[in-house]
Amino acid sequence: MKKLAVVLAMFLAPAVVAQTAVPNEKRVSLNEAAVALDPDGASALEATLQSTALNGTSESPVSNTRIVVRNSGSAAYSFVSGVVTFYDSTGVRCGEGVFKAEALAPGESFETDTPGIRIRCTAASWRLVANSLIPRVVVSTATSARLEISVDGEAHPLQLDKPLTLTVGDKKRTIVVRNVP
């Protein structure tokens, strides 16, 4: 019985979290900028549509669109991806494509197409949803702190992983300062 409860929790918990964590990106007209939100509901990406002829049909869908996506947030990203969705005048979804980019700084823009899109209507509105917003993390291994050891008021500079030899009484002592992993 406990195993069944654990299995149910494993499958239901992500669904509940996904429903509560998804922000609500709104549809805008084709001449307006679409905004994708981060998980906190703040603007992360903003896109403008460069393609103008979006009059597709079921027999002859539009299969190429160009958009310019700008990082409208304050975070730098190492990877972004998302979905662009188009709707007809009655609000019915009639086309969807993906976009992606690597290394996107705050305020930086990129122009891209939407691979896989097939717009089967005369599009009247669209929206932008960010699927992946992977922040850029800078890892620094160097330390800029100056280290010194004071023995009886006498200061001795320290460097990480460099031995310092001191005479304490009648014995020489070697001291090594290291980072702890």
- SS3 category, 59: coil
CB 73 within 8 A of CB 23: no
Which among 49, 115, 36 has a CA at the least distance from the CA of 77? Answer: 36
pLDDT tens track of the chain, all 181 residues? 445 444 444 544 444 444 444 567 899 999 999 999 998 899 999 999 998 888 999 899 999 899 999 999 999 999 999 999 999 999 999 999 999 999 999 999 999 998 889 999 999 999 999 999 999 987 766 655 677 777 777 787 777 778 878 777 888 888 777 776 6
Task: Give the per-residue pLDDT at 144.
Answer: 58
Task: Write the DSSP assignment of 62-109 as a string of letters.
Answer: B---EEEEEE-SSS-EEEEEEEEEEE-TTS-EEEEEEEEEEEE-TT-E
CB 96 within 8 A of CB 49: no
First to last CA, the chain: 42
Task: Give the per-residue pLDDT at 180.
Answer: 67
The number of residues making up the chain comes to 181
Q: How far apart are CA 86 and CA 96, in angstroms?
A: 6
Topology (CATH level 3) of domain 25-135 = Immunoglobulin-like (2.60.40)
CB 53 within 8 A of CB 120: no
CB 73 within 8 A of CB 44: yes
The domain limits of the chain are 25-135, 140-181
Q: How far apart are CA 37 and CA 42, in angstroms?
A: 5
